[in-house]
């Protein structure tokens, strides 16, 4: 199984890790913040560390305080009174939660539909559990010359329908989308929901960037569409919500028949998630509303997005303006580099974007992630046109990166 789905090739995050790049390179590759979580959240973490009980095992379902806090935030958004015992599960990050769903539900050869490009972690999570990823393209607009909206990346409902077979068990809907930044519209989600209903599929709604949606756009939870609660598991993340990606605290919300076997899987994989940081995540979710935290955080990210995208405007290269998440896809097909450049082994033999990103990181001093990694091998050529830049950095750092990027002119 490890030989399937590129899992034995070095993962893109390790290749473009700061440890491999010049020390002064600005890291806009992995979504790695250079600011701390909010003080009132880290103080709750400190308090938890100084207590006795929060340093020990938690219930495998997650600490009751966190499940209650998740209920408080999500019940109104999902239009139902969530049951903390049967419908909420805390996991060791969103990744582990999704992995556990696959462990619980996939039988050898079961197919999982992913919109391509897809967050790369899905692929090994599916294949390690015996499943088979099936790809449905998100099409960028043809002949884009300058800035275009992430909403212009579209799925073709006929292609989605044609991808369904008798082995299809699940479909992953990632909104806001990594790496495109697309926030799926209600109509698009209705199209997906209708197909999920017709073919009796489970929907994995990866909504880890749900608190980062710009310009007043609406984040629609597919679980709220008619009939969809019963077949959807919604995925959330403390790391994205509170600028704490190293905490590895995430959660799943869904009907009991999905949560119960997934709890059995996660219990046997990690037993329980990090206890003190669950307390901190709970404190965070308890207070977001009264502090208006997600709105404030979104405003800060909108400013960061503006600094990076203005740099791309100045360059005159086509790019996707994201409606959500903290990623921008830049078209790098016109960026030139010498083919005899001393590239490391890890980027040779991969797409052109791997070499372009390496060259830009070393020579321009700004790292990014090659987007062919978010495509299956067969379609990698479609992705190699793009580099993904993350703007989860303070504004000063982004200004510095913006200045350096002008060298690409």
Residues near ligand GLN, by CB under 6 A: 13, 30-31, 121, 178, 390
Closest CA to 26 of 336, 304, 393, 335: 393
Minimal distance in Å, beta carbon 28 to ligand GLN?
10
Min. distance of Cβ 337 from ligand GLN in angstroms? Answer: 23
Question: At its nearest, how many Å lie between ligand GLN and the CB of residue 390?
Answer: 6
Q: Which is nearer to ligand GLN, 44 or 328 (CB)?
A: 328
Task: Give the DSSP letter of residue 51.
Answer: S
- How many of the other CB atoms lie within 10 Å of CB of 148? 17
Supply φ then ψ for residue 119, to 5 degrees. Answer: -60, 125
Do 11 and 368 form a contact (C-beta atoms < 8 A)? no
Q: At its nearest, how many Å lie between ligand GLN and the CB of residue 205?
A: 16
Beta carbons of 204 and 101 less than 8 angstroms apart: yes
| Lateral strand order in the sheet of 232-237 | 88-91, 250-253, 232-237, 202-206, 168-174, 111-116, 132-139, 154-155
Measured from the CB of residue 30, what is the shortest distance to ligand GLN in angstroms?
A: 4
Give the shortest CB-299-to-ligand GLN separation in angstroms: 22
The encoded tokens of residue 231 equal 């077949």
Is there a contact between 28 and 366 (Cβ–Cβ < 8 Å)?
yes
- Cβ proximity to ligand GLN, 29 vs 140, nearer residue: 29
Nearer to ligand GLN, 117 or 193 (CB): 117
Nearest residue (CB) to ligand GLN, 245 versus 273:
245
The residue among 31 and 284 lying less far from ligand GLN, judged by its C-beta, is 31
Least distance (Å) between residue 31 CB and ligand GLN: 3
CB closer to ligand GLN out of 28 and 283: 28
Q: Is 317 helix (H, G, I), strand (E, B) or coil?
A: coil
User: Cβ(209)–Cβ(298) under 8 Å?
Assistant: no
Least gap, CB of 2 to ligand GLN (angstroms): 17
Minimal distance in Å, beta carbon 260 to ligand GLN? Answer: 27
Q: Smallest distance, Å, CB 178 to ligand GLN?
A: 5
**In sequence order, which ranges of 226-342 are alpha helices (DSSP H)?**
238-241, 256-269, 275-291, 293-315
Instruction: Determine the residue with CB nearest ligand GLN.
Output: 31
What single string gives the DSSP state of each residue in 201-258?
-EEEEE-TTTT-B-TT-----GGGSTTTGGGEEEEEEHHHHTT-TTS--EEEE--HHH
Residue among 232 and 368 whose Cβ is closer to ligand GLN: 368
The residue (of 163 and 172) whose beta carbon lies closer to ligand GLN is: 172
Distance between CA atoms of residues 28 and 369, nearest Å: 8
Sheet of strand 386-390, all strands in order from the earlier edge strand to the far edge: 147-149, 319-321, 327-331, 386-390, 369-370
Shorter beta-carbon distance to ligand GLN: residue 47 or 121 = 121
Give yes or no for a contact between 237 and 250, defined as CB atoms under 8 angstroms apart.
yes
* Cis preceding linkage at 179, omega within 30: yes
Nearer to ligand GLN, 168 or 178 (CB): 178
């Amino acid at each position: 199984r490890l030989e399937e789905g590129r899992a034995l090739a070095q993962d893109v995050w390790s290749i473009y890790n700061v440890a491999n790049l010049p020390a002064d390179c600005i890291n806009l590759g992995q979504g790695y913040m250079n600011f701390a979580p909010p003080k009132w959240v880290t103080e709750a973490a400190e308090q938890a560390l100084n207590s006795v009980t929060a340093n020990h095992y938690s219930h495998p379902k997650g600490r009751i305080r966190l499940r209650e806090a998740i209920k408080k935030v999500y019940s109104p958004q999902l239009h139902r009174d969530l049951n903390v015992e049967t419908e909420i599960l805390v996991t060791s990050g969103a990744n582990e939660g999704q992995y556990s769903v696959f462990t619980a539900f996939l039988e050898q050869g079961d197919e999982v539909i992913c919109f391509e490009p897809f967050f790369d972690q899905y692929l090994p999570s599916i294949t390690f559990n015996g499943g088979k990823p099936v790809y449905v393209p998100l099409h960028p607009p043809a002949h884009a010359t300058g800035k275009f909206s992430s909403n212009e990346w579209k799925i073709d409902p006929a292609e989605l329908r044609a991808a369904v077979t008798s082995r299809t068990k699940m479909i992953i809907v990632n909104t806001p989308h990594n790496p495109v930044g697309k926030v799926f519209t209600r109509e698009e989600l209705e199209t997906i929901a209708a197909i999920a209903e017709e073919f009796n599929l489970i929907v994995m709604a990866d909504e880890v960037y749900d608190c980062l949606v710009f310009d007043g756009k609406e984040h629609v939870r597919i679980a709220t569409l008619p009939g969809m609660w019963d077949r959807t598991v919604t995925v959330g993340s403390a790391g994205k919500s509170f600028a704490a990606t190293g905490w590895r605290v995430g959660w799943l919300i869904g009907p009991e028949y999905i949560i119960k076997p997934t709890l059995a899987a996660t219990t046997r994989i990690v037993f329980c998630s990090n206890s003190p940081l669950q307390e901190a995540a709970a404190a965070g979710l308890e207070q977001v509303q009264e502090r208006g935290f997600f709105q404030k955080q979104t405003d800060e990210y909108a400013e960061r997005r503006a600094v990076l995208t203005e740099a791309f405007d100045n360059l005159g290269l086509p790019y996707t303006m994201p409606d959500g998440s903290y990623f921008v896809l830049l078209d790098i097909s016109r960026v030139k580099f010498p083919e005899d450049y001393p590239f490391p082994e890890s980027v040779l033999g991969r797409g052109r974007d791997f070499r372009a990103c390496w060259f830009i990181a070393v020579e321009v001093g700004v790292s990014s992630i090659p987007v062919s990694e978010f495509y299956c091998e067969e379609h990698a050529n479609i992705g190699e046109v793009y580099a993904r830049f993350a703007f989860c950095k303070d504004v000063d750092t982004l200004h510095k990166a913006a200045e350096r990027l002008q060298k690409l002119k």
